[in-house]
Amino acid sequence: MQSLKCKTKNLFMKIKSFVFAGLIIILVLFSNGCARTVTQLVTFGKLMQVEVTLRGTMKIDGSARYFMVLSRYKDFVTPLPFPDNINSFEFIEPGTSPQIGSAADYYTNFYNKWDDYVIVEPSKIDLVKGLFIQGQNASRETIGVISTVDQKISFTIPLESAFGASANIPDTIYFDVASVNWPYGAAKYAIDHLNSTNAYISKITGSITTVTDEYNLALDPGMDIISITAVIQ
Protein backbone atom coordinates (compact mmCIF):
# COMPACT_ATOMS: atom_id res chain seq x y z
CA MET A 1 0.00 0.00 0.00
CA GLN A 2 2.82 2.33 0.91
CA SER A 3 4.61 1.40 -2.32
CA LEU A 4 1.50 2.26 -4.32
CA LYS A 5 1.30 5.64 -2.64
CA CYS A 6 4.96 6.33 -3.46
CA LYS A 7 4.43 5.36 -7.07
CA THR A 8 1.36 7.61 -7.29
CA LYS A 9 3.25 10.47 -5.68
CA ASN A 10 6.19 10.03 -8.06
CA LEU A 11 3.82 9.95 -11.07
CA PHE A 12 2.14 13.12 -9.88
CA MET A 13 5.51 14.85 -9.48
CA LYS A 14 6.54 13.84 -13.02
CA ILE A 15 3.28 15.13 -14.47
CA LYS A 16 3.74 18.37 -12.53
CA SER A 17 7.30 18.72 -13.89
CA PHE A 18 6.14 18.12 -17.48
CA VAL A 19 3.35 20.71 -17.12
CA PHE A 20 5.79 23.25 -15.66
CA ALA A 21 8.32 22.62 -18.46
CA GLY A 22 5.56 22.94 -21.04
CA LEU A 23 4.49 26.30 -19.62
CA ILE A 24 8.09 27.53 -19.79
CA ILE A 25 8.36 26.50 -23.45
CA ILE A 26 5.05 28.21 -24.30
CA LEU A 27 6.16 31.42 -22.59
CA VAL A 28 9.48 31.41 -24.48
CA LEU A 29 7.78 30.80 -27.83
CA PHE A 30 5.17 33.47 -27.11
CA SER A 31 7.86 35.98 -26.14
CA ASN A 32 9.85 35.26 -29.30
CA GLY A 33 6.71 35.51 -31.39
CA CYS A 34 5.90 38.93 -29.96
CA ALA A 35 9.43 40.12 -30.66
CA ARG A 36 9.07 39.16 -34.30
CA THR A 37 5.78 41.00 -34.74
CA VAL A 38 6.89 44.36 -33.30
CA THR A 39 6.96 47.00 -36.07
CA GLN A 40 9.12 50.09 -36.09
CA LEU A 41 7.28 53.38 -35.79
CA VAL A 42 7.48 55.40 -39.02
CA THR A 43 7.82 59.15 -38.60
CA PHE A 44 7.39 61.88 -41.16
CA GLY A 45 9.79 64.77 -41.49
CA LYS A 46 9.03 68.45 -41.13
CA LEU A 47 12.08 69.83 -42.94
CA MET A 48 13.76 69.28 -46.29
CA GLN A 49 17.43 70.18 -46.36
CA VAL A 50 18.65 70.97 -49.87
CA GLU A 51 22.11 71.40 -51.35
CA VAL A 52 22.48 72.27 -55.05
CA THR A 53 25.93 71.98 -56.60
CA LEU A 54 26.97 74.01 -59.64
CA ARG A 55 29.99 73.49 -61.87
CA GLY A 56 31.13 77.02 -61.08
CA THR A 57 30.45 79.80 -58.60
CA MET A 58 26.81 80.88 -58.32
CA LYS A 59 25.98 84.19 -59.96
CA ILE A 60 24.93 86.99 -57.60
CA ASP A 61 25.33 89.93 -59.98
CA GLY A 62 21.60 90.02 -60.69
CA SER A 63 21.90 88.29 -64.08
CA ALA A 64 20.58 84.94 -62.85
CA ARG A 65 18.04 83.25 -60.61
CA TYR A 66 17.88 79.67 -59.36
CA PHE A 67 14.58 77.85 -58.83
CA MET A 68 13.49 74.67 -57.09
CA VAL A 69 9.89 73.71 -57.90
CA LEU A 70 8.01 71.29 -55.62
CA SER A 71 4.95 69.28 -56.59
CA ARG A 72 2.79 66.39 -55.44
CA TYR A 73 2.23 65.49 -59.10
CA LYS A 74 4.67 63.23 -60.92
CA ASP A 75 3.75 64.75 -64.28
CA PHE A 76 4.33 68.41 -63.34
CA VAL A 77 6.56 70.34 -65.73
CA THR A 78 8.66 73.51 -65.84
CA PRO A 79 9.69 75.69 -68.80
CA LEU A 80 12.66 73.92 -70.35
CA PRO A 81 15.94 75.22 -71.73
CA PHE A 82 16.40 75.44 -75.49
CA PRO A 83 16.23 73.50 -77.78
CA ASP A 84 13.53 71.58 -75.83
CA ASN A 85 11.54 74.78 -75.22
CA ILE A 86 9.74 74.67 -78.56
CA ASN A 87 7.11 77.27 -77.55
CA SER A 88 9.65 79.72 -76.09
CA PHE A 89 8.08 79.70 -72.63
CA GLU A 90 9.93 81.90 -70.17
CA PHE A 91 10.86 80.68 -66.70
CA ILE A 92 9.13 83.41 -64.71
CA GLU A 93 7.25 83.62 -61.43
CA PRO A 94 3.46 83.30 -61.23
CA GLY A 95 1.92 86.76 -61.44
CA THR A 96 4.61 88.06 -63.79
CA SER A 97 3.60 89.20 -67.26
CA PRO A 98 5.55 87.24 -69.89
CA GLN A 99 7.36 88.96 -72.73
CA ILE A 100 6.05 86.29 -75.09
CA GLY A 101 2.59 84.66 -75.01
CA SER A 102 -0.21 85.07 -72.47
CA ALA A 103 -0.12 84.62 -68.72
CA ALA A 104 -3.05 82.18 -68.93
CA ASP A 105 -0.87 79.77 -70.93
CA TYR A 106 1.61 79.61 -68.06
CA TYR A 107 -1.07 78.74 -65.51
CA THR A 108 -2.51 76.08 -67.81
CA ASN A 109 0.79 74.48 -68.76
CA PHE A 110 2.83 74.89 -65.58
CA TYR A 111 1.58 76.62 -62.45
CA ASN A 112 -1.58 74.56 -61.96
CA LYS A 113 0.57 71.57 -60.87
CA TRP A 114 3.18 73.46 -58.86
CA ASP A 115 2.69 73.26 -55.09
CA ASP A 116 5.47 75.70 -54.21
CA TYR A 117 8.80 76.94 -55.42
CA VAL A 118 12.02 78.28 -53.96
CA ILE A 119 13.69 81.20 -55.72
CA VAL A 120 17.32 82.01 -55.02
CA GLU A 121 18.03 85.71 -55.56
CA PRO A 122 21.38 87.55 -55.22
CA SER A 123 20.90 88.26 -51.50
CA LYS A 124 18.13 85.98 -50.19
CA ILE A 125 16.17 82.77 -50.68
CA ASP A 126 12.36 82.82 -50.70
CA LEU A 127 9.76 80.08 -50.46
CA VAL A 128 6.72 81.02 -52.56
CA LYS A 129 3.59 79.09 -51.66
CA GLY A 130 0.81 77.85 -53.94
CA LEU A 131 -1.84 77.24 -54.99
CA PHE A 132 -1.09 79.55 -57.90
CA ILE A 133 -4.24 81.14 -59.27
CA GLN A 134 -4.20 83.81 -61.93
CA GLY A 135 -5.07 87.21 -60.48
CA GLN A 136 -4.16 86.24 -56.89
CA ASN A 137 -0.92 87.15 -55.14
CA ALA A 138 1.15 84.27 -53.79
CA SER A 139 2.50 84.23 -50.23
CA ARG A 140 6.29 84.53 -49.78
CA GLU A 141 8.52 83.56 -46.89
CA THR A 142 12.25 84.21 -46.69
CA ILE A 143 13.96 80.95 -45.66
CA GLY A 144 17.60 81.92 -46.11
CA VAL A 145 20.19 84.51 -47.03
CA ILE A 146 23.23 84.26 -49.27
CA SER A 147 26.13 84.36 -46.82
CA THR A 148 28.69 82.36 -48.79
CA VAL A 149 29.20 82.55 -52.53
CA ASP A 150 30.64 79.38 -54.06
CA GLN A 151 29.49 76.31 -55.98
CA LYS A 152 26.95 75.29 -53.32
CA ILE A 153 23.44 76.68 -52.78
CA SER A 154 22.00 75.44 -49.49
CA PHE A 155 18.65 76.03 -47.82
CA THR A 156 16.05 74.32 -45.65
CA ILE A 157 12.39 74.11 -46.62
CA PRO A 158 9.84 73.91 -43.76
CA LEU A 159 7.43 71.36 -45.22
CA GLU A 160 4.40 72.52 -43.24
CA SER A 161 4.95 76.05 -44.56
CA ALA A 162 5.21 74.66 -48.08
CA PHE A 163 2.26 72.25 -48.03
CA GLY A 164 0.18 73.29 -45.03
CA ALA A 165 -0.64 70.94 -42.16
CA SER A 166 1.38 67.75 -41.77
CA ALA A 167 -1.50 65.68 -43.18
CA ASN A 168 -1.31 67.68 -46.43
CA ILE A 169 2.35 66.89 -47.08
CA PRO A 170 2.35 64.37 -49.94
CA ASP A 171 3.92 60.95 -49.41
CA THR A 172 6.24 61.63 -52.35
CA ILE A 173 7.55 65.09 -53.20
CA TYR A 174 8.61 65.63 -56.79
CA PHE A 175 10.95 68.46 -57.71
CA ASP A 176 13.01 70.14 -60.39
CA VAL A 177 15.86 72.63 -60.14
CA ALA A 178 16.61 75.22 -62.80
CA SER A 179 19.09 78.00 -63.45
CA VAL A 180 17.51 80.94 -65.25
CA ASN A 181 19.00 83.82 -67.20
CA TRP A 182 17.53 87.01 -65.72
CA PRO A 183 18.11 90.06 -67.97
CA TYR A 184 16.41 93.28 -66.90
CA GLY A 185 13.36 94.08 -69.04
CA ALA A 186 13.85 91.12 -71.37
CA ALA A 187 12.66 87.52 -71.70
CA LYS A 188 13.94 85.14 -69.04
CA TYR A 189 14.75 81.58 -70.06
CA ALA A 190 15.93 78.43 -68.29
CA ILE A 191 19.57 77.64 -68.98
CA ASP A 192 19.78 74.27 -67.24
CA HIS A 193 17.57 71.92 -65.22
CA LEU A 194 17.58 68.37 -63.85
CA ASN A 195 17.40 66.02 -66.79
CA SER A 196 16.20 63.11 -64.64
CA THR A 197 13.08 61.07 -63.88
CA ASN A 198 14.37 60.30 -60.37
CA ALA A 199 13.91 63.77 -58.89
CA TYR A 200 11.64 62.88 -55.97
CA ILE A 201 11.84 62.05 -52.27
CA SER A 202 9.70 60.34 -49.62
CA LYS A 203 8.46 62.40 -46.69
CA ILE A 204 9.65 59.69 -44.24
CA THR A 205 12.22 61.01 -41.79
CA GLY A 206 15.76 60.14 -42.87
CA SER A 207 14.98 59.88 -46.59
CA ILE A 208 17.87 60.99 -48.79
CA THR A 209 17.86 61.61 -52.53
CA THR A 210 20.79 62.67 -54.70
CA VAL A 211 20.14 63.51 -58.34
CA THR A 212 23.08 64.12 -60.65
CA ASP A 213 23.04 66.05 -63.90
CA GLU A 214 25.49 65.85 -66.77
CA TYR A 215 28.20 68.46 -67.21
CA ASN A 216 27.55 70.88 -70.07
CA LEU A 217 30.76 72.71 -70.93
CA ALA A 218 28.86 74.95 -73.34
CA LEU A 219 27.14 76.65 -70.39
CA ASP A 220 28.40 79.34 -68.04
CA PRO A 221 29.85 77.29 -65.11
CA GLY A 222 27.68 79.24 -62.65
CA MET A 223 24.56 78.12 -64.52
CA ASP A 224 25.52 74.47 -65.01
CA ILE A 225 23.72 72.31 -62.42
CA ILE A 226 25.76 69.27 -61.41
CA SER A 227 23.67 67.72 -58.63
CA ILE A 228 21.15 68.18 -55.87
CA THR A 229 20.94 66.36 -52.55
CA ALA A 230 17.74 66.48 -50.50
CA VAL A 231 17.35 65.11 -46.96
CA ILE A 232 14.12 64.84 -44.94
CA GLN A 233 14.41 65.61 -41.22
pLDDT, tens digit (0-9, with 9 covering 90-100), for 91-137 = 999 999 999 889 999 999 999 999 999 999 999 999 999 999 999 99
pLDDT at 16: 47
Pairing of strands 64-71, 116-120: antiparallel
* pLDDT at position 49 over 70: yes
Neighbour tally for 119: CB within 10 Å: 17
Q: How large is the average pLDDT for residues 19-37?
A: 47
* pLDDT at position 21 over 90: no
Q: How large is the average pLDDT for residues 212-223?
A: 97
CA–CA distance from 111 to each of 32, 143, 202 (Å)?
A: 54, 21, 22
pLDDT at 6: 44
How would residue 64 be classed by pLDDT, with cut points 50, 70 and 90? Answer: very high
Q: Where are the alpha helices (DSSP H) in the chain?
A: 2-37, 103-109, 159-163
Burial (CB count within 10 angstroms: exposed 0-12, middle 13-18, buried 19+), residue 221: middle
pTM of the predicted structure, to 2 decimals: 0.82
% of the chain residues with pLDDT over 90? 79
Q: What is the largest CA-CA distance in the chain?
A: 117
* pLDDT at position 2 over 90: no
Per-residue model confidence as pLDDT tens digits over 143-182: 999 999 999 999 999 999 999 988 999 999 999 999 999 9
